[in-house]
Structure 1
Amino acid sequence: MGRKAYTGQSMTSSGPYSHGIDAGEFIYFSGQTGYNGADYDGEKYDIHTQTTKSFHYLKDALSQANVTLDDVVKVNVYLTGMKYFEEMNAVYQTMFNEPFPARTCVAVYELPLGADVEIECIVKKPQSVE
């Protein structure tokens, strides 16, 4: 049985991975950075812009699977320094409604494409209305 993959339309992959993989009841979405845009031309962004763009690309991939941020149950956030934590949270809290998804946020040494934030998520598929 093959994997069902979802590909966002506004971004590229910075390696050999799918933007989203359907796993039955759950869909796993790969991490996105602010620099994954198909139209990215090398400029550097502040953490607010990187976080906003990361969510933009995630929402694009989610839409290909016909789900939204309201369906997200778990988020992992990777930062190159906890000095970005508050600014990232300022954007993050505008993306979700309460109750917020479960979340892990860790500092890492570095991220692909020179990014300072990468965000990935897991979605539980909504039950279909019959």
Structure 2
Amino acid sequence: MSKQIVYTEQAPAAIGPYSQAVKVNVASPSNMLFVSGQIALDLAPLGDIQAETQKVMENIGAILKAANLDYTNVVKASIFVKDMNNFALINEVYGRFFTSEPPARETVEVARLPKDVNVEISVIAIQ
């Protein structure tokens, strides 16, 4: 896989650990991994958004590893959060996993998440 970070001054710059866009050259669709939304299911009590985000990112890392991939292979992330006021705290933890060439991403505030968690993250990775 070749991965190129795309940036233009004609669109808003990233305001966190993500890229405006990521262009990939995929030899085969079988080189793509779609990771379902991960939550901190086994973390109790819920409420510490940074602990929840850490657990979610660890879950994603375990799934990537099972597919012989790692965080550098992630090209797209989707973050769903119950309270956008937690955006900076989530970003702080999330950013530790993408220290260079972060994936494209969106963050969306939602009314409710499964099991009443506070954050859910899904990713797409390319080999």
Q: TM-score, normalised by structure 1?
A: 0.72
Pick from 17, 24, 28: which aligns with 2:34? 28
Residue in 1 that maps onto 2:56: 54
Give me the whole-angstrom Cα distance separating, in 1, the residues matched to 2:91 and 2:106: 12
Deviation at 1:60, TM superposition (A): 0.8
Counterparts of 1:1-130 in structure 2, within 5 Å, are 24-35=30-41, 37=42, 40=43, 42-125=44-127
Give me the whole-angstrom Cα distance separating, in 2, the residues matched to 1:77 and 1:118: 6
Q: Identity percentage over the alignment? A: 30
Aligned Cα RMSD in Å? 1.2
- 5+ residue gaps, structure 1, are 1-22, 126-130
Amino acid at match of 1:85: F
Aligned length: 99
Amino acid at match of 2:88: E
Contact 2:71–2:97 (8 Å) recurs in 1: yes
Write out the 4+ residue segments of structure 1 that deviate beyond 6 Å after TM superposition: none
Amino acid at match of 1:34: A
Task: Provide Cα deviations, 1:64-98, integer angstroms capped at 9, x if missing partner.
Answer: 10000110000000000101100000101111122
Amino acid at match of 1:111: L
Give me the whole-angstrom Cα distance separating, in 1, the residues matched to 2:88 and 2:116: 20
Task: Provide Cα deviations, 1:36-77, integer angstroms capped at 9, x if missing partner.
Answer: x3xx5x522400000000001111111110000110000000
Q: TM-score, normalised by structure 2?
A: 0.74
Contact 2:47–2:118 (8 Å) recurs in 1: no
Give me the whole-angstrom Cα distance separating, in 1, the residues matched to 2:108 and 2:114: 15
Contact 1:31–1:120 (8 Å) recurs in 2: yes
Contact 1:26–1:124 (8 Å) recurs in 2: yes
Question: Which fold has the larger relative contact order, with Cα–Cα distance below 8 Å and residues 6 or more apart in sequence?
Answer: 2
